[in-house]
Structure 1
Amino acid sequence: MKKNMENYVFHAYTKMLFGKNQIDQLPEVMNDYGKTVLLVYGGGSIKKNGIYDKVYTLLKGWNIIELSGVEPNPRITTVREGVRLCKENNVDVILAVGGGSTLDCSKVIAAGHYYDNDPWDLVLDGSLITKALPLVTILTLAATGSEMNKNAVISNLETNEKFGTASKLVIPQASILDPTYLFTLPAIQTAAGTADIMSHIFEAYFGKVKDAYIQDSFSEGILKACIKYCKIALKEPENYEARANLMWASSMALNGLTGSGKSHAWTCHPIEHELSAFYDITHGVGLAIVTPRWMRYILNDDTVEQFATYGHNVWDLPMEEDKFEVAHKAIDKTEEFFKEIGIPMTLKEVGIDDSKLDIMAEKAVRFGGLGDAFVSLTKEDVVNILKDCL
């Protein structure tokens, strides 16, 4: 049933410093928040590309405490360590340097600083977040949009759980986006990051609200940019135009621009969260595997118009009289694109068999609210989609 655009509040207040050498403005940005900084980063690539030394040069006179080693699927154990460091050192501000994993981890650390119990509580229930340390980010991967939104996803390997939480209080105060920082990314990270950006768009684009023309037009433009510039970035890693457009696509895909007025439960993200909770796979890879299978599974008389429009406006397919033909071609184009950019397209290729499909499907439906998704899904539906992914 068609729904009208819902009421919404759009407030994207993060100060975005975009372009070459914007890191030079870091002291001015950080001056607003205090002199004791928790520097959070991942596996150490920022030491190879020079960002680490640059931060220390620019923040001479600041008291910097480090939390390194944030995992690709950030773990609650790392969040707990960050909270401990913040409390012991009376940290004023967090500086997160990295991709979405580092930023997400930092968000929950920022909230956990003011929380007396286990920060896992804040992952399970974002309403428990009542205060947070200010957060500044330096982005090194175009993917999650975490540099400009309220969301964070954290894994608990002890319980095989991976959940998203959200609070306006953890939205970054400022984010530095220098496209040159993407030049040295491994190809699979560029590809998986692009798949993540596109999935954020798909989750909002395919919905029951049909009159959000502006939002959907933004979505189609961002999808076309991803399709065009990911392939260029893979062939020419230091192509500034490609990197800049992918970086901005990441921020625009999940800051409320495309999803405002179109609320409903997401589908592919909750399913993928279970895959990476149990198997610790790369998030964007899992999304790319699931997405075209989900699209085919939900294609029906009610959804065909939207998939045909997607094919026409994004993939430039001629609008045939047979809408199903256009829709199928659009879904095929989506899967072919993910293959072309080098993403493995079956679960078996990433080490996942059929042994845990039932439990993953059950948890995806229970925790993801898939009954309220664009097309309502049961546990059996999710099992069938995952079987198609094998």
Structure 2
Amino acid sequence: MNDFIFHNPDKVYFGKDQLRRLPEELAAFGTKVLMVYGGGSIKRSGLYDEMRGLLEGAGMQMFELAGVEPNPRHTTANRGAALCKENGIDVVLAVGGGSAIDCAKGVAAAAKTEDGDVWPLVAGGVWVTDALPVVAVLTNAATGSEMDAWGVITNWETNEKIGLGGSALIPRAAFENPELSYTLPPYQTACGAFDIFNHVLDNYYLAGEATFDVVMEMQEAVMRAVVKWAPVALAEPENYEARANLMWASSLALNTILDAGTVHACACHAMEHELSAYYDITHGHGLAILTPRWLEYILNEQTAPAIYRLGTAVFGVEEGLAPEEGARKAIECVSGFAFNTLGLESTLSHFGIDDAHFEDMAKHACADGEIPGLRSLSVDDVVNIFKMCR
């Protein structure tokens, strides 16, 4: 294992009756609130009216940035930053899933710059230490943005989807009521579940020699929870236990508790960000298509034991097999979870994606080098994995 520092100052209110505490959390920063959200789902569910009532009842002024895209654009974040500058916003309130929270982080960071443009921060890899405070109300278990220091912003003009990070971007408070995810469409539930699963698998689990046994077992527990409860949530959308397990798994997967002492490879995320940047597909679905193909591609004598452990610990693959045989069974389980249990389409051709941009996408993903990991990936490797996904 590697040396590490763990520090996460996010305060989480989890459960059914926690939103009543929202005004007091916001009041710590001021009275002018910019609410950032996506489409009309929070209005159809009644959450929008509830939020407005809470804020106005506490004497706060609410401003709005609506229409955040599933892969939030830098131009949308810039519109929000302009609203902050024009109206003297004190705190940015994200209401929704990861896209709304990511966009809110971009808004909060850009609002503190002279020109209000988030893209130089993103493209320059700037670690943001000065931003407006962000508070999140989570409605979808998926990205973990409600408890981490990162957001992902897309520049549609340049086909780039890049992470924006900084200590100032960790939400000051997050409100997680599993009931708010009851009305999610099955497709979004499925994509979110695989996103959580892959966050653990891609970011931390296959860490080579840099492993830490107690943390690995926590990682496996989070993945097992997703595998167990995602099909329940799909079959029974208002099953509180299922929604609660998925929502807390989302936060645990990326709040840095699971990366203690491990290596970050993130090969699937690097590749999927290219799919989203070029084709605007749902992130979790892109990860589902890529992950079993990536595992198959990196499988060899050296990687087989780690992949086999995934199968036994998370999916119940029998022990005592030859490592490569066990690893192949593990990959079959990952594929079955994505495409059978969750019901996600298994190919890029479903989205009309061909190999026209694979070379450019692979170069972007590798950032003029290789994607490091249990088995490092060159540009040619990434192109081959994309082709396996067609």
Q: Per-residue displacement from partner, 1:291-348 (whole Å, max 9, x unpaired)?
A: 0000000011111110111111111111124111111001001001111211111000
Partner of 2:357: 356
Secondary structure, aligned partner of 1:258: helix
Match runs of 1:57-68 below 5 Å: 57-60=53-56, 61-68=59-66
- 1:126–1:167 CA contact under 8 A, matched in 2: no
| Structure 2 match to 1:46 | 42
Q: Which residue of 2 aligns with 1:160?
A: 159
Matching residue of 1:331: 331
| 2:26 aligns with one of 30, 33, 42 | 30
For 1:274-305, what per-residue CA distance to the aligned partner results, in whole angstroms no more than 9, with x for missing partners? Answer: 01100000000000000000000001111111
In structure 1, runs of 5+ residues without a counterpart are: none
Within a 5 Å distance, the mapping from 1:68-217 to structure 2 comes to: 68-117=66-115, 118-127=117-126, 129-203=128-202, 204-217=204-217
Q: How many matched pairs?
A: 385
1:264-275 to structure 2, matched below 5 A, reads: 264-275=264-275
Q: Tell which deviates more after alignment, 137-146 or 6-15.
A: 6-15
Deviation at 1:13, TM superposition (A): 1.4
Displacement after TM superposition at 1:126 (Å): 4.0
SS at match of 2:367: helix
CA–CA distance in structure 2, aligned partners of residues 211 and 294 of structure 1? 21
Match of residue 318 from structure 2: 318
Identity over the aligned pairs, expressed in percent? Answer: 48
The alpha carbon displacement at 1:128 in A equals 5.3
For structure 2, the residue ranges without an aligned partner over 5 or more in a row are: none
Kept in 2, the 8 Å contact 1:121–1:128? The answer is no
Question: Which residue identity lines up with residue 353 of structure 2 in the other structure?
Answer: I
Distance 2:241 2:321 in 1: 37
Q: Write the letter of the residue equivalent to 1:52.
A: Y
- C-alpha distance in structure 1 between counterparts of 2:210 and 2:39, whole Å: 43
Find the counterpart in structure 2 of residue 56 from structure 1: 52
CA contact 1:75–1:157 (8 Å) conserved in 2? yes
Give the counterpart letter for 1:219 in structure 2.
Q
Q: Which residue of 2 aligns with 1:347?
A: 348
Report the AA paired with residue 42 of structure 1: G
Q: Tell me if the contact between 1:148 and 1:171 (Cα under 8 Å) persists in the aligned partners.
A: yes
- Asked whether the 8 Å contact 1:38–1:67 carries over to 2, the reply is yes
Kindly indicate whether the alpha-carbon contact (under 8 Å) linking 1:137 and 1:174 is maintained by their aligned counterparts in 2.
yes
Q: Distance in 2 between matches of 1:48 and 1:207?
A: 43
Counterpart code for 1:89: N
In structure 2, C-alpha distance between the alignment counterparts of 1:288 and 1:54, rounded to whole Å? 35
What value does the CA root-mean-square deviation take over the aligned residues? 1.2
TM-score by structure 1 length? 0.97
Matches within 5 A, 1:363-382: 363-366=364-367, 370-382=370-382
Q: Corresponding residue for 1:226?
A: 226
Per-residue Cα deviation, 1:217-276 (whole angstroms, up to 9, x for no partner): 011001110011000000000000000000000000001111121133320001000011
3-state SS, counterpart of residue 257 of structure 2: coil
